Each structure stands twice: as C-alpha cells, then as structure tokens.
A and B are shown apart, each in its own frame.
Chain A
Amino acid sequence: MSPIVTVEHIGKSFKGLRALHDVSFTVEPGEVLGIIGPNGAGKTTLFNCMAGMFPPTTGTVHYEGQDVTGWSDARLARAGLVRTFQLMRPFGSMTVLENVAVAAAARGESEKEAEEEGWEILQRVGLAQYATRTSKDLPTAGLKRLELARALALHPRVLMLDEVLAGLVPTERQPVIDLLLSIRDEGATLLFVEHVMAAVMALSDRVLVLNQGETLAFGKPEEVVANPAVIEAYLGDEVTDADAH
C-alpha cells in the first residue's frame, strides 16, 4: 500500500531560528504514529506545517498522493487531514453541539444534517449530556473531548492529535485511548504528539522521535525506546526502568 502521508525534507525557520530541519517520514493508511520529543523539539511545528497553519520553509508534504505543501489549514481539513490543538480552542459562547456542527457544516453538510451528525458524535465521545451547555463551561476533560468531537465531524482520514491526553488524570485517559482506537479501527490514520509514554507505547505502530528539530529516531516503539540516543536525549530513567522490567 502506498503511504497516505509522505513528509520529505521538511524544515521550518522562524526569522533564523531553526525549529525544524530536514525531517522525512511516511505514514501508512490505518497506522498510528506517535511523535515524541523533549519540549521545543519541533513536534507542534511539524504539526503546524503539515496541517497548513503555515507553510514549511523547505520540503514537501504529500497527502493521498497529492502535493499539499502550502495548502491552507481549512482546505486540508475539508480534504480530511485534520488536527486538534494542544490548548483547547472551543467556540466559547456556542453550545457544545453547535461547536461540533460548525465542523460538520464546514465539510459541506446543511445546518440540519450538521446538527444531527454533531449529536451522534457527542453521544459517541460521551458529551451527550453537555450538548446544550455553552462550551466555555466545560471542564478540561470535556474540552479535550470536544476537540476530538469537532475533528471527527470532518470525517478525518488523517487525524493529527496534539497532546490529547495532557491535563487528564489517569482515570480520564483510558476512555479517550479507547475512543482513539475505535477511530483507528474505522480506518482513520492517527498521528499524535504525546508526553504520556504509556499511551505512546500502547497505541503506536511506529514512533518518530524529534530532538532540536531533527529526527532522532523512527521505528517500532520497542526499537525506539531501546535506542541509546533516544534514552539520552529524552526518555531517561523512565524507559530504562521499563526496559529492565
């Protein structure tokens, strides 16, 4: 099968500050790719370049065989390459249902269809009881789910999740992980930036490790955590322990 996403030699500089340099990787359809790295490694910058928040300085992004480098985020989202934000960005004054309906409507559904679909998604992600509340009243865990719900309304073929588990207590994580797996089972490809290593290890088919804007390692999770360079740069004791275990 040909890759659904191909990133080639992508780089991004902000006024001379090199945030990302010569990163290349491919993602297979239906794959779950974890992206890890210390703070400032360029994970979110990579997401931003791929999702069209800003164009990369160098390199190209192909999605479903098409060169999408420089496409706007809105266009990519409508095409099924969708990202969520690390910091939740609800449409605060709108109800939770309306938030999701915006995304469904942007995909081209009528207002009526958009609300119907929004309601189905809210039931699926466990926000049904909040449907008519204004979204700014949601607690953090709810907002995280709302980010996911809105992304789902776009029928993503590639879903890019930026720290979707951050800020959740461990008991809140498992339902989200289950949800992600069910999304994957429906055929979506997942890319996710995450700090919660247990989730990365459990979910990922492959892991990309970034450090100071460059690829440090790329491969199966167990290979990556065994890589001495990775251990030194980022993982430290946590994985050494896990290894010994």
Chain B
Amino acid sequence: MSDTLVQTVPSPLRKRRFLDNNVIALIVLVALAVPLPLLMDQGQEAVAVRVLIFAMLGMSWNIMSGFGGMFSFGHAAYFGIGGYSSSIFLVNFGISPWIGMIVGMGVAALYGVIVGWLCFRYKLKGTYFALATFAFAEMLRIIVQSADIVNSSVGYNVPLIQGSDWWLMQFPAGSPNYFWLGLGLMAACLLVTIVFMRSKAGRFTVAIREDETAASSLGVPVLRFKLTAIALSGSIGAVAGVFYTQFYLFIDPELAFGAYRSIEAILIPVVGGIGTIWGPIVGAVLLAPLNDITAAILRNPPPFLDFLEGRTGLDVMLYAILIILVILFLPKGVFGTIKEKVTKR
C-alpha cells in the first residue's frame, strides 16, 4: 500500500463497442425466438405476434415519453398514420406495404415534428402537452372518420392474395412468416433504439428530460433534439401500425386512431419500465396475452367462475388491476425495478 494521499481511482471509461450488452441481449433474444412459431399452434402464434406489435408500440412511446420525458397521450396518431399509409397505397394503387411503411414513417415523423413544434412554440408542458397530443390524435380520428377519400368510418380491408408474398407482406393464416416478419421489424426498431440511446442524440434527449434549462445552458440545442426524439418515436409507431394492419388485414379509424390505442402505448412501458431499453418488451410480453387469457376465461369459464360466461370487459378490468398493482408496488415497472435492484448491488 502506498501512503500517498492522492487516491487513484480506476478509470470508468469503457471501450465503446458496437456489440454492447444490449445488442448481445437482442441477438440472443432473436435467436431464441426464431424457432418459436414451429412450436406454437395458430392461436398461440397470434398471441406471439401481438406481443411483437405491442413491443413496437411501447418502444415508440418509450422513446418520446420515457427517455424524452414528453408525455404523449396521442400515440395512436403515429400508429394510425402507419396503418392508413400502407392501406391507402395498397388498396388504391396496389403498392407494396413496404413502400407504404416508409411513407408512413415519414408522415408520422413529420406529423410529430409539427405537433411537437406547435406545443413547444406555445410552451405547453406536462399535462397540457399530453392533452394537446391527445387532441391532435382525436382530430386525426375524426378527420379520417368523416373523410370519404379514406373510406370514412368503414376503414380498409387489406385485399387478400393466394399464398405467401413477402413483398406484399401477406401470408396464409397461421404461417410462421408473420411472426418472423414481426420479429425482424421489432428487432430493427429495438436496435435503432439501442443505437439512438447510446448516441449523442440519445444522451441529449435524456439530459433534456432531466433538466431542460441546464441542458440548454450547456450548449444542447434543446428544441432540435426534442423534435428528433419525437420523429424517431413517430416512425417506430408507424411501423407498428403497418404490421398490425397487415396481420389483422383490417384497419378502421377507431382501431387506428382511437384513444384505446394511445392508452395501450402508455401501459406497455409503464408495466415494463419507463425509460429503459427493455421495459417495453417486458411490458408487451405481460400485457399482450392478457386479452386472450381473459377471452378464453369468458368463453369457457371454470366452474367457480360460471357467472362470467358471455360477459365482456374482463380484460379491461384486469388491465386496471394490473396497472394499480404495478404503480403501487413497482413504480418503475417490472424491468425498471429489476434493473435498479441489480445495479444497486
């Protein structure tokens, strides 16, 4: 031991590698998930696909509102813009949903930037910002509902084709391709999130969430990076919307732009862990099967739950109970709480 007073502290600097823990975890997750559809029946695969859709929707919300701290109550807008973009192109012009997806991502990003800019221009914060995002999403819903050019309240049926077609993003019912397609999209969105969060832009986004004034006084162009986060969030939301539409082969204003969708987008990361990379995935895995479980119980209740037969709304009640439990006991969400416990060690 040396007697010097100067304490030498080991350098906290780590090598910056592309393959960091998050990317490795992502690769492992994908590798484990790839064979899943071969082990599942059609019903189980539908649940698995919904997990993927939920994960993308939750990730989308998480970037803007979790990492960025700009609470969105109108994420249905991005989801709906995605779903409608691909449908409009596909149904009217026979253009591939892939093209529609790219257009939808662009439109969603642009929509987000415009709404965000307006909100920040008029200094809307917190609850008021959330209400504004909700109002804009509702506006979209009402416009779409009453515009004949997008089939008003009827919505779109994706035209059915024979067999599998990756370019048209359509496969026969029960095809494992849906799962693999969704897994690929989800993995891409997650990878983008990971790369974004360890980039300068991601770090600025969190700094702005923590203290906007301090970030600005340290030279961070606050408005630019807020809008960047919103644009990225919106694009991912649009991807979720396109994939949803291609899987369920149907979209209407309520499914696309309804408040229920916006709430879903919030609940997924809230349950999983707001502002964490993996929170939305955990939230999606927990929440997506809930509908199916409750639907099964309602359809065919066990003897002691006879009275439930033929009723509806149980899933919503379970949602509510789950949310109350999470907020009471795991305010950082399931993944967020685990992460905190582990890093505290």
A residues contacting B by CB (< 8 A) are 51, 53, 72-75, 77-78, 82-83, 85, 89-95, 97-98, 101-103, 105-107, 110-112, 114-116, 119, 123, 128-129, 131-132, 150-151, 153-154
What A residues does B203 contact at CB under 8 A? Answer: 94, 98, 101-102, 105, 111
Could you say which residues of chain A place their CB within 8 Å of the CB of B275?
93
Write the nearest CB–CB distance from A74 to chain B, whole angstroms. 5
Contacts of A128 in B (CB 8 A): 7, 9
Q: By the criterion CB–CB under 8 Å, are B7 and A129 in contact?
A: yes
| B11–A51 touching, CB < 8 Å | no
Residue in contact with B221 in the complex, picked from A74, A98, A110, A153, CB distance below 8 Å: A74
Q: Give A101 to B11 CA distance when docked, in angstroms.
A: 14
**CB neighbours of B207 from chain A (8 A):** 91, 94, 102
**CB < 8 Å A-B pair total:** 93
CA distance A123 to B10 in the complex (A): 11
Minimal beta-carbon separation of B100 from chain A (angstroms): 35
Q: In this assembly, does B210 line the interface, its C-beta being within 8 Å of a C-beta of chain A?
A: yes
Chain A residue with Cβ nearest B208:
A91
B216 and A73 contact, CB distance less than 8 A: yes
Within 8 A of A (CB), among B1-29: 7, 9, 11-13, 16
Which one, A72, A105, A150, A154, contacts B204 given CB within 8 A? A105
Main secondary structure on A side of the interface with B: helix
Residue in chain B with minimal CB distance to A105: B200
Shortest Cβ gap from A193 to chain B (Å):
15
Q: A77-B219, A94-B203, A111-B203 are in contact. List 10 more A-B contacts (CB 8 A).
A: A74-B217, A82-B217, A89-B211, A92-B210, A94-B206, A98-B203, A105-B200, A106-B220, A129-B9, A131-B12
B12 touches A73 (CB 8 A): no
B219 CB contact (under 8 Å) in A78, A89, A101, A112: A78
Which residues of chain B are within 8 angstroms of A123 by Cβ–Cβ distance?
9
> Which A residue's beta carbon lies closest to that of B11?
A119
A110 vs B213: C-alpha distance in the bound complex, in angstroms? 22
Q: How far is the CB of B199 from the nearest CB of chain A, in Å? A: 7
Q: List 11 contacting pairs A-B, 8 Å CB cutoff, sorted by A.
A: A74-B217, A77-B219, A93-B206, A93-B210, A94-B206, A97-B12, A102-B218, A103-B218, A106-B204, A115-B13, A154-B219
Query: Which chain A positions have C-beta within 8 A of B214?
Result: 85, 89-91, 150
A74, A90, A151: the one contacting B220 at CB < 8 Å is A74
